């Protein structure tokens, strides 16, 4: 059991050394992109919700 845990930890550390981590600039760029896209999608769904609610109100009247 301890041998398996030791092997797992050694292999996990070896895999983490293979990871290519993004630079600080890339991380900032990706974060800004995600925020902008999230706001854009929220605005889109807000407008869509408003238009559909107006349409539903029109159908109900």
What is the reported pTM?
A: 0.65
Percent of the chain with pLDDT over 90: 90
- Note whether residue 6 is domain-resident: no
pLDDT tier for residue 8 given thresholds of 50, 70 and 90: very high
- The domain of 49 spans 21-61
- Note whether residue 53 is domain-resident: yes
Identify the three-state secondary structure at position 28: helix
- Note whether residue 27 is domain-resident: yes
Number of domains in the chain: 1
Q: What is the pLDDT of residues 37-47, one digit of tens each?
A: 999 999 999 99
Q: What is the pLDDT of residues 20-39, one digit of tens each?
A: 999 999 999 999 999 999 99
pLDDT of residue 3: 86
Report residue 38: phi and psi, to 5°.
-65, -45
Torsion of CA 25, 28, 32, 37, to 10 degrees: 90
């Amino acid at each position: 059991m301890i041998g398996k845990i030791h092997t797992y930890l050694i292999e996990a550390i070896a895999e983490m050394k293979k990871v290519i981590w993004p630079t600080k600039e890339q991380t900032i760029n990706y974060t800004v992109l995600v925020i902008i896209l999230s706001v854009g999608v929220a605005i889109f769904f807000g407008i869509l919700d408003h238009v559909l609610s107006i349409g539903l109100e029109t159908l109900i009247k």
